[in-house]
């Protein structure tokens, strides 16, 4: 895709920021401490990365989805975990409020979120649900002007340091997704707690844990959207979330290709550089071709969203293909590195671990296949 100058400048801004701020020394420290530097997060906010698509009236940049994926891609190319901090407020957290929030809720929560002052994760997944996102067991029982929430959310990114959380709970005993409603829950309310921080394979430096709700009283003013519209609204948010994951996958895949090319030009075997061996050269050529196709699908999905097209189909295709290709490129790049790719100290080792989650979170590859096939058959 040939980008207009505006998007070339956005790409340059994100790339320059990532290369300057997210140095290998800092990223190694993040791996050791499991903590992402707060000063870099503040700089991300000041650069406008947390509110790329948020309208200017709420403190954002007022840009579009193509600008969003370009930014996420470039941050992910240097740091997958860094891109997670950029993606979250622009996708599930921020989108939940943009999609269903009242004007008062948008004014109250979006501006401090894009300025980096508050963190708002997305609490949909439950221990017994996983891919079955509609199996909501968390309950909300009306008590005057309040609702009493009980339940448990799992794998909630940023929960351990969140200020608020979007929590999906079921009102009433209707079948299936009936009655599912979103609430903005203050994480300091009595009865709210978080579980043990998960020990993850990758994306180290962005804590993930359960959110536990025990008789939590939430005022009716903190209902997000209409009662019973929660699941529908969540799926609209996931369309954008999957687009963000696709952009992350494209960025990490680009980094995997970069590392393969770099190593093949430095390493000699049997008296020749690796790239002079046809088997390696052809492997890298195949990687570059598939990455190009993945990126075009990501950009197409972003443009589809910007022009009001079928984002459900486009985002699922982009997320499915880009995440699978990212894992393939990570594996091939590590193979090219040989034994060195298996030890810490080479960037590909971290890229390989970080890439694995892209085919899992915000809908597994198999869920994307279900979404795509249902769209094709009109179900």
CATH 1.20.140.10 spans which residues of the chain? 232-377
pLDDT at 2: 87
Taking only the tens of pLDDT, the chain with its 379 residues reads 889 999 999 999 999 999 999 999 999 999 999 999 999 999 999 999 999 999 999 999 999 999 999 999 999 999 999 999 999 999 998 999 999 999 999 999 999 999 999 999 999 999 987 667 677 999 999 999 999 999 999 999 999 999 999 999 999 887 778 899 999 999 999 999 999 999 999 999 999 999 999 999 999 999 999 999 999 999 999 989 999 999 999 999 999 999 999 999 999 999 999 999 999 999 999 999 999 999 999 999 999 999 998 899 999 999 999 999 999 999 999 999 999 999 988 999 999 999 999 999 999 999 999 999 999 998 7
Q: Is 324 tagged catalytic?
A: no
Tell me which fold the domain 232-377 belongs to: Butyryl-CoA Dehydrogenase, subunit A; domain 3 (1.20.140)
Q: Which entry of 259, 328, 349, 362 is annotated as an active-site residue?
A: 362
pTM above 0.85, yes or no: yes
H/E stretch holding 94 reads: helix 92-100
Considering the chain, tell me which residue range(s) the CATH 2.40.110.10 domain(s) occupy: 122-227
CATH number of 5-114: 1.10.540.10
Predicted confidence at residue 262, as pLDDT, reads 97
Task: For 34-61, give one letter per residue: b (16+ CB within 10 A) or e.
Answer: eebbeebbeebbebbbbbbbbeeebbbb
b vs e for 139-149, b when ≥16 Cβ sit within 10 Å of the residue's Cβ?
bbeeeeebbbb
Note the pLDDT of residue 20: 97
The answer for residues whose C-beta is within 8 angstroms of residue 234's C-beta and 6 or more apart is: 96, 124, 133, 168, 180, 182
**Two structure tokens written together for 305:** 């969203």
Q: What is the pLDDT of residue 135?
A: 78
Distance between first and last Cα of the chain? 32
pLDDT for residue 133? 65
Kindly indicate whether the domain formed by 122-227 is annotated with CATH number 3.30.450.40: no
What is the number of other CB atoms lying within 10 angstroms of the CB of residue 230? Answer: 29
Domain with CATH 1.10.540.10 in the chain: 5-114
- The residues pairing with 148 across neighbouring beta strands, listed in sequence order, are 141, 217
């Amino acid at each position: 895709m040939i980008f207009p100058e505006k998007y070339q400048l956005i790409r340059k801004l994100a790339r320059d920021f990532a290369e300057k701020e997210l140095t290998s020394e800092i990223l190694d420290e993040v791996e050791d401490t499991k903590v992402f530097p707060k000063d870099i997060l503040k700089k991300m906010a000041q650069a406008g990365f947390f509110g790329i698509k948020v309208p200017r009236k709420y403190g954002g940049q007022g840009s579009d989805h193509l600008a969003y994926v370009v930014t996420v891609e470039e941050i992910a190319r240097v740091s997958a975990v860094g891109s997670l901090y950029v993606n979250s407020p622009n996708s599930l957290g921020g989108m939940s409020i943009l999609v269903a929030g009242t004007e008062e809720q948008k004014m109250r929560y979006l501006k401090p979120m894009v300025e980096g002052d508050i963190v708002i994760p997305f609490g949909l997944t439950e221990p017994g649900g996983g891919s079955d996102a509609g199996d909501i067991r968390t309950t909300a029982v009306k008590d005057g002007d309040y609702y009493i929430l009980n339940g448990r959310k799992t794998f909630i990114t940023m929960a351990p340091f969140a200020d608020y959380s979007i929590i999906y709970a079921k009102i009433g005993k209707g079948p299936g997704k009936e009655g599912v409603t979103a609430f903005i829950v203050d994480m300091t309310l009595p009865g709210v707690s978080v579980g043990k921080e998960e020990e993850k394979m990758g994306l180290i430096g962005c804590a993930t844990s359960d959110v536990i709700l025990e008789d939590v009283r939430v005022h009716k003013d903190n209902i997000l959207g209409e009662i019973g519209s929660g699941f529908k609204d969540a799926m609209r948010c996931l369309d954008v979330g999957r687009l963000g994951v696709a952009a992350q996958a494209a960025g990490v895949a680009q980094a995997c290709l970069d590392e393969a090319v770099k190593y093949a030009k430095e390493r000699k075997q049997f008296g020749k550089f690796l790239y002079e061996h046809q088997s390696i050269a052809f492997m890298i050529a195949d990687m570059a071709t598939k990455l190009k196709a993945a990126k075009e699908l990501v950009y197409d999905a972003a443009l589809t969203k910007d022009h009001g097209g079928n984002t459900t189909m486009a985002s699922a295709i982009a997320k499915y293909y880009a995440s699978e290709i990212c894992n393939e490129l990570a594996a091939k790049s590590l193979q090219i590195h040989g034994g060195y790719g298996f030890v810490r100290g080479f960037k590909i080792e971290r890229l390989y671990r970080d890439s694995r989650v892209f085919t899992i979170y915000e809908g597994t590859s198999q869920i994307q296949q279900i979404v795509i096939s249902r769209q094709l058959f009109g179900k």
